[in-house]
Amino acid sequence: MSEFFTTLNQTAVFGDTTEGPGTFPFTRGLHKQGYRARHWTIRQYAGFGGPSETNQRFRFLLSQGQTGLSLAFDLPTQMGLDPDDARSRGEVGRVGVSLSSVDDMIAIVSGLPLDQLSLSMTINATAPILVAFLQVAAEEQGFDASKLMGTVQNDVLKEFVARGTYVFPPKPSLRLATDLIAHCSRTLPKFNAISVSGYHMRDAGCSIEQEMGLALAHAIAYCERLISMGLSIDQFAGQISWIFNTQNEFFAEIAKYRALRRMWARIVKEKFGAKDPKSMQLRVHVQTGGATLTAQQPENNIVRAAYQAMASVLGGVQSLALSCFDEAIAIPTERSQTLALRTQQILANETGITEVVDPLGGSPYIEALTDELERRASEVMQTIERTGGALKAIESGLTSQLIDDASYQYQQSLESKKRLIIGVNCFEETSSQAKPERFKLSLTSENQTIERLKKLKATRDSLKASAALDALHAKCTGAKDETLMPEILAAARARCTVGEITATLAKTFGRHRQG
């Protein structure tokens, strides 16, 4: 960037407002210097096959300039099933890595500097188990677990209305999620214990204001449960992070992040009495909109993701991953993930965006959009509150109905062409096009994963594993407010598997079935 622009941006006056960047309620950003002091964390969502394949992909991405890791799990792992379970057949390692035990976690992070990199894990119903695996893996590899950096999604409430990878009913699911948050507040102080997700509800079809309002309502439910457990808001709020979905409404997406920061800061301070400014900061990871990807003319997705990434950065997010252009077809290839990384790197190093804090702040349009989105999201929150809160809204079906209605309206707008999607309902191409390179998972990967699990069960101390599971079951049936994390950690150290620990919890909690 030229010296003129650098000097101009560094000396620019943000006005006489007392709500400048880095000050409550953080509308204009969390830090006074914005990206001048530090760029956002550059991630790409990765994971497939077994631990060794995923470790190799992580190493590749780091060699290409990625600055943080984001781990995807396969459906069996997300649902608490081991790869040798009949229900896992055909899904092992398909949409993420298959992970059954501490040994698998050790293989995934082998050779990676856990004390220097943050690891984000997209896991929900089985989040307490996977964090226990990570903690034990770090300890056994000689790392100080208290210095672990990263994030676990652990937002199980949205699973009941969006993704569907729940295991237990809503109430015990909330208990497990808050047990993990409490554990991290005491043991893993640098690890984000939850990433409250608007992302998946938006991909499921909710509106932008619903994405905001529902996510905030869910966060309130977690906070209320933790406070009822005896924790103060300042003990855990600094370890709450967020994930949202940036789609194609460019200016609205910028305003969304400004409004969300302001809303959360006021909720935490005014509703829960937080004193620590860090508790009031809404720290956001963004994944560009998966639902906006099209299988038709897939190269168009490169442009979509670039604009979505720019909106995210103009909105002041802390971490970013781009959905790759071929994700509507298959797991991303190394080429498509490299291109997604390069898009972020160009944005950070060539555009000059990082030189200005909240560059669109003060724009009448952006300020009006920020206010309007806050108003609409507040209305969504009030609707949930009138029902009795997030948990009751989920159990009654209200939240699902809100999302379904918004999704139906969106589909109608596509069919009527009030909303245009290039290559889908306009500017279609009838001639056959060359398909992009497609990732292919080895057909032997599933069998190798199952054999590795058999070896683990044959060589571990079976008496120790059984005793650990018995202790966990006994704790589940005890006092409701007793945390289960010590027993889950003991089971992890005994080399109990995801499937075994989940089945033990299910003996008490049951398995949820949507009615």
Tens digit of pLDDT for each residue in 250-278? 999 999 999 999 999 999 999 999 999 99
Average pLDDT, the chain: 93
Task: Identify whether 325 is part of a domain.
Answer: yes
Task: Identify whether 464 is part of a domain.
Answer: no
Q: Would the pLDDT of 9 be above 70? A: no
Give me the mean pLDDT over the 297-304 stretch: 97
Task: Identify whether 507 is part of a domain.
Answer: no
Task: Identify whether 345 is part of a domain.
Answer: yes
What global pTM score does this model have? 0.94
* pLDDT band for position 17 (cuts 50, 70, 90): very low
* pLDDT band for position 515 (cuts 50, 70, 90): low
Give me the mean pLDDT over the 127-134 stretch: 98
pLDDT of residue 2: 47
Task: Identify whether 236 is part of a domain.
Answer: yes
Residue 118 φ then ψ, to 5°:
-95, 140
Task: Identify whether 436 is part of a domain.
Answer: no
Task: Identify whether 430 is part of a domain.
Answer: no
- Is residue 244 within 8 A of residue 257, CB to CB? The reply is yes
* pLDDT band for position 322 (cuts 50, 70, 90): very high
Which of 147, 154, 221, 224 has its CA nearest to residue 194?
Answer: 154
Number of domains in the chain: 1
CATH assignment at residue 309: 3.20.20.240
Q: At a CB cut-off of 8 Å and minimum separation 6, what does 371 contact?
A: 259
Whole domain around residue 397: which residue ranges?
28-415
pLDDT of residue 8: 52
* pLDDT band for position 183 (cuts 50, 70, 90): very high
H or E segment to which residue 364 belongs: helix 364-387
- Give the tens place of pLDDT for each residue, 434-481: 677 777 667 678 999 999 999 999 999 999 999 999 999 999 987 666
Residues 208 and 144: their CA atoms lie apart, in Å, by 40
- Give the tens place of pLDDT for each residue, 490-506: 999 999 999 999 999 99
Task: Identify whether 394 is part of a domain.
Answer: yes
Residues 299 and 321: their CA atoms lie apart, in Å, by 18
Bridge partner list, 121: 71, 152
Identity of the residue numbered 68: G
